[in-house]
Amino acid sequence: MRSHRCHPWPPLLLTVALLAPAALGAQPPDRELVEEDLDERQAQSPPAAVGALEAEAQQAYADGDLARAIGLYRALAEGAEGPSERARHHLTTAWLLFQLGDAAGATSELVQALFEDPATPFRADLYNAEFTALHQDALRDALLRRRSEAVDRLNRAVAEISAGRYEAARRLLEEGLRLGPDDPDGLYNLAVVDQRTGRQEAALAGFERVLALERGRPESVSRELKAQALNNAAVIYFARGQFDDAETALGEAVKLDRADAKAWYNLGLTRARLGRKPEALAAYRRARELDPRDVDVARQIGLAHIERQEWVEAVAVLLEATREQPETPDLWIHLGRAQRGLGNLQGALESLARALELDPGNRAGDAETAALLLAEGRLAGGDILGAAAAASIATQFSPERPDGWVLLGLARLRADDPGGAAEALSQAAALAPDRADILHNLGSALLAKRDLVGAEAAFRRVLEIEPASAEAAAIVARLEAQKSPPATERRGAQPPALGAQLKEVDYPALGLRGLLVEQVAAGSPAARGGLQVGDLVLRADGAAVTTPAALASAFAAARRELRLEILRQGRQLELRLNAG
């Protein structure tokens, strides 16, 4: 069966609001003092930090060749590594342009400087009033531009996330967050990218940073965004096995947004892991009310009803799910299981056959599961050839798993092919040497094949695994007795056959499973013991019998007589068959 995981929310498609900067009111200095102090500030730069190009620019400035100095400072800005260095050179260029009377050029350079780094140092006391006013206007324009470009990058990043291009999205988000640090939408979407690219620790840190922003500035994070961050953090907690933390986060998420179907679904998964299944089912039901078309929710509700043996409810919800997604094989498997529980064997077989058709390559293991259940159901319905075909498909998908070989062996045994049954069951026993049920069936097949030595070895192995198995002990004793027959017994004589044709039946609604008598041979032990056509054999010597081979083994192992408990026309009777 497939596993299910918690569902993260998609990234937000939100736009960042544009905020106006605070006004700057410092008074400008005298122009000559600005020039002197600017020169003094440049002269104080550490010599090691001043490259040849900057030294040349400073010299041009000192020589009064402002046009050449402007070109050099622009080249410095273009080649600078970090935003702070680029901003510093743009600011110097702006001042030089201003001195040449180019106010528009100065404004452009100031905007570029403050766009690169709004915190670029600017001492108003070193400049005149007009240049300080330009700086103030440029700061406002630069902040508006930063926020506009941040919004653009974030929205482009969301498109990249939707297209699954996560590295491109990461670059845009990092650029956007450099322009608008601590933007909650950007932080959330970057965490989503980390989550989807396997960087779970970074993702969790990102979601927790969004939550920390909300605690510090509640107005900056919407209730919806907080709920989504909580939900996605819970997904990571869930994957790490921190189910209590996941439940706490999801409980807060559904309080913030009671219409969040995914959060309710994830809360149901978490509560199920915590063993609180009734509460889990309540959460699933709430999710289904909010999103009736979500088949993941329907699947979990169906599985919960199957576990509680609420067959009608399970069939109803899973039938709707298969209508919503008719190409999903595991939904048909769960529906088949529910139909079988309800007693609708034919409907179950049809659903399981549909699942098998939908997954011919067994991509998710659904076809193998369907084949196994189909083989079991067909055996119960008496379709021996169909059961063998389905079991054979299961062995082809997973020859290393024993269950398909077991069902193939049982089908062959029912088809009066004890040799083929023994071959398949031997394969199963080799794959699971410690499974007593497989060895028991193998022993029955070998008995039917008249391989008494092999049968005895199989039943002795059963006793090693399950010493309390009365049936295996009786068969071993019977086989031991046959090794030394009484003198009056003709050497080589075989125990009498039961003399009845039997069919496996299963009535889940009545809680009955046994062998239906279809024919009784005249003069046989079955006829002499009073067995009639239509009787339902439930137990032999107190042990349930569900296959003809099991009853034949019990009869063969009986020393004098075999006590049968049967159901005849609604009345429970006890018969004793002479096995001597």
Domains of the chain: 31-149 (1.25.40), 500-578 (2.30.42.10)
Burial 40-69 (b: 16+ CB within 10 A, else e): eeeeeeeeeeeeeebebbbebbeeeeeeeb
Query: Residue 114 has which token pair?
Result: 């403050």
pLDDT in tens, 264-280: 999 999 999 999 999 99
pLDDT in tens, 131-170: 999 999 999 988 898 888 888 999 999 999 999 999 999 9
Residue 40: is its pLDDT beyond 70? no
| DSSP code, position 12 | P
Q: Which of 525, 524, 520 has its CA nearest to residue 568?
A: 520
Residue 122 CA, distance from chain mean position: 55
Contact 271, 285 (CB under 8 A): no
Name the least confident of 12-16, 105-109, 286-290, 411-415: 12-16
The span from the CA of 306 to the CA of 104, in Å, is 76
Q: For position 8, what pLDDT does the model report?
A: 52
Residue of 85 and 50 predicted with greater confidence = 85
pLDDT in tens, 41-81: 333 444 444 488 999 999 999 999 999 999 999 999 999 88
Contact 41, 29 (CB under 8 A): no
Res. 484 pLDDT band, cuts 50 70 90: low
- Distance (Å) of CA 229 to CA 151, 159, 166, 210: 20, 19, 19, 7
What is the percentage of the chain residues whose pLDDT exceeds 90?
Answer: 62
pTM of the model: 0.62
Res. 1 pLDDT band, cuts 50 70 90: very low
Q: For position 556, what pLDDT does the model report?
A: 83
Mean pLDDT of the chain: 86
Annotate 19-74 with DSSP letters as a single string: -PPPP--PPP--HHHHHHHHHHHHHTS-GGG--HHHHHHHHHHHTT-HHHHHHHHH
551: left (phi over 0), alpha (psi -120 to 50) or beta: alpha
pLDDT in tens, 492-538: 334 457 888 998 888 765 667 889 898 888 888 898 899 998 888 99
Q: For position 488, what pLDDT does the model report?
A: 43
Residue 95: is its pLDDT beyond 60? yes
Q: For position 226, what pLDDT does the model report?
A: 94
Res. 552 pLDDT band, cuts 50 70 90: confident
